[in-house]
Structure 1
Amino acid sequence: MGVSGCHHRSDADKDRSMKRSRPKRTRLRASGKAARRRRPELDNEQRADIEARIGHVFKDVDWLNRALTHPSLIDNYDGDAQFSNQRLEFLGDRILGLVMAEMLIAKFPAEREGYLTKIFHQLVSGEACAEVGEALGLRPFLFLDSSMEKNKRGSYDKSVADAVEAIIAAIYRDGGLDAARGFISRNWVLDLVDREVSQQNPKTRLSDWCGANRAPYAVYDIVDRAGPDHEPVFKVRARVDGIGEAIETGRSRQEAEMAAADRLLRELQRND
C-alpha cells in the first residue's frame, strides 16, 4: 500500500502537469504562425527607388508592399488573400479602364465608339501593362515564389503586368483617384496611345473619320499599274466625294490603298 502510494499520481497531479506543459507548446505554435505571417517588406533604399520610378510617395507603405506580393506566396500566410496583390489587381484593372476611357474620349473627341474600343482594349491589355512594368523596371522588386521566376504568358510577363494593375490600385488607396490618374497618364498616354493609333489600319481610320464627320465613305480607284508581273507597282486614288482625294503608290493594291488613305486622312485632319 505504501509503495503503491509513492508511485501513484493522482488525477489532480496529472491535471497540474498537463497545464504546465500546454502553455509552452501553445507559445511555440503561436510564434511559428507569427513568423509565417510576416509580410514581405521593402527596405528603405528599395522603397525610395521604386517610389521614384512610379512617381508616388506612399503615406502607407503597406499598400506598396502588398501590391508587389505575388499570389504564389499566399500559402505562406495561411491562404489569406489580403497578403497578396490579387485583390488590388482586381481593383486596379477597373481603375485603369475608367481612366483610359476618360483619356481616349478627351483625346479623340470626334471618333466613334468602335474606333475607341479597339484602341482601349489594346491599352488595358496584359501586354500593355507588362510593357509599362518593364519600362519602370519593376521585376526585381516583386515578392514571389522561386517557381514564378520565369512566369510568362505568351510574349509578356504576367507577374509584372499584374503588379502594375495592383500598383494603380495601391496608389488609388493611398492617394486617391487623381494620384492614380497621374500614374496612368505618365506611363500610357504619352507613348502607348500615339503608337496604338499609328498602328491602326489607315483605311479603317479614314472610314472612322468619315463616319464621325458624316461624310461619304472613301472610294479607292486604281489609277495605274506598272512594272513586271513579279514586281508590280500600283497607283491608287483614295477619294471622299466632295471632301478631297489623294494618290499614292505601292507594291500591291492593298499597300497603295493604305498609303493613299493615310495621306488623305492626314490632309483632312490638317484642315479640321
Structure 2
Amino acid sequence: MNRHAGRADRSGLEASLGHRFATPDLLGRALTHISGLSGANARSGSYQRLEFLGDRVLGLAVSAMLYAEFPHATEGELSRRLADLVRRESCAEVAAAWDVGPYLRLGPGEVQSGGRGRQAILADVCEALIGAVFLDGGFEAAAGLVRRAWEPRMLSPRRALQDSKTALQEWAQARGKPTPVYSETERSGPAHAPSFVVTVAVEGCEGAAGVGTSKRLAEQDAAEAFMRREGFGPLPPAPAPAEGQDP
C-alpha cells in the first residue's frame, strides 16, 4: 500500500520514531488534522488533544535533560535553552526529520495547499506524536523519543540562547529606557500563509522593521535588525564555574 496515501501502513514512521504502538489508533489520531474529518465529532477525533498533552510532556522531558546536562546553569539560562528547544520551529524540524508528511490525514484543501509540509501542522503533529507515545508506552517511552530527537539539538544549539527581543529589552533597560514597543504595520498574504511586518520603537532611537510568517517572528526579526544596526546582539551564556567553585 502506498504510504503517501496518509492512512496507509505506518511501520516506516514507527521505525523513525523508534516506537511500535500497542494501540495503533493513537498513532492514527496523532496524524489526523481536523480538516481530514467531518461531522460533530471532528475536533475530538483530530490530534488537538494529543498535541496539548504532548506539549507538556515535551517540556518536562527537555527540562529534565537540561537539568542533568548543565549542572552549573542558572535558572535563566535553562529557561532560554528550553524555550529554544521547544519552539514551534524546532518541533516542525523534528517532525520533518521523522518524515511525517506522507502519513498525515488531511482534507483535500489542506493537501492541495501544501499542508503536508506546512510548518504549523508539522509542529502540531510533532507534539501530538509525543503525547501519543506517552499514552501508549508511558513517560519513559516518550522521554526516550524526545531524547533521541532533541539531544543533538541540546548539545549543539542552532541559535543564540538569548532571543533577540530579550536582548534588546535588557539593552534598553541598561540605558534607562522604557521597554521597546512593537507595532504591526502591515499584514499580507492568504490566511494559511500570512506575512507580517512589525516595527520596533526604542525611546531616543530610530525604529527598525522586521518581517515574519507570524507576529512573533516578525518582532524577533525587528529586534535583530535594530541590534545589527546598533552593533550588538544576544548575549552568550555565562561560562560554567571552574571546578571546585560555587555555581
Whole-Å separation in 1 of the counterparts to 2:92 and 2:150: 12
Partner of 1:100: 62
CA shift at 1:174, angstroms? 0.6
Partner of 1:117: 79
Alignment coverage as a number of residue pairs: 171
Residue deviations 1:117-161, cap 9 Å, x none?
Answer: 111111111101000011111111111123224467xx9611111
Partner of 2:137: 175
Residues 1:107 and 1:158: Cα distance change in structure 2 (over 3 Å): same
Residue deviations 1:210-254, cap 9 Å, x none?
Answer: xxxxxxxxxxxxxxxxxxxxxxxxxxxxxxxxxxxxxxxxxxxx7
Partner of 1:42: 7
For structure 1, list consecutive stretches of 5 or more residues without a partner in the other structure. 1-39, 202-253
- What code does the residue aligned with 2:7 have? L
Whole-Å separation in 2 of the counterparts to 1:200 and 1:269: 21
Whole-Å separation in 2 of the counterparts to 1:198 and 1:269: 25
Match of 2:156, SS state, is helix
1:163 to 122, 125, 132: 125
- What code does the residue aligned with 1:88 have? L
1:68 to 22, 31, 42: 31
Whole-Å separation in 2 of the counterparts to 1:269 and 1:59: 48
Partner of 1:196: 157
- What code does the residue aligned with 2:69 have? K
Whole-Å separation in 2 of the counterparts to 1:146 and 1:197: 35
Contact preservation (8 Å) 1:127, 1:156: no
More helix by share: 1
CA shift at 1:41, angstroms? 7.5
For structure 2, list consecutive stretches of 5 or more residues without a partner in the other structure. 163-230
- What code does the residue aligned with 2:17 have? I
CA shift at 1:189, angstroms? 1.2
Whole-Å separation in 1 of the counterparts to 2:118 and 2:75: 28
Contact preservation (8 Å) 1:67, 1:88: yes
Match of 2:65, SS state, is helix
| Greater Rg over alpha carbons, structure | 1
After TM superposition, the structure 1 = structure 2 runs for residues 23-38 of structure 1, keeping only pairs within 5 Å, are none
| TM-score for the superposition, normalised by structure 1 | 0.55
Residue deviations 1:18-62, cap 9 Å, x none?
Answer: xxxxxxxxxxxxxxxxxxxxxx9833xx22111111110011100
Whole-Å separation in 2 of the counterparts to 1:148 and 1:175: 31
Amino-acid identity (%):
36
1:57 to 8, 11, 20: 20
Contact preservation (8 Å) 1:126, 1:161: yes
Contact preservation (8 Å) 1:126, 1:156: no
Residues 1:136 and 1:197: Cα distance change in structure 2 (over 3 Å): closer
| TM-score for the superposition, normalised by structure 2 | 0.60
- What code does the residue aligned with 2:90 have? A
Contact preservation (8 Å) 2:77, 2:161: no
Whole-Å separation in 2 of the counterparts to 1:168 and 1:122: 18
Partner of 2:183: none
- What code does the residue aligned with 1:72 have? S
Contact preservation (8 Å) 1:69, 1:144: yes
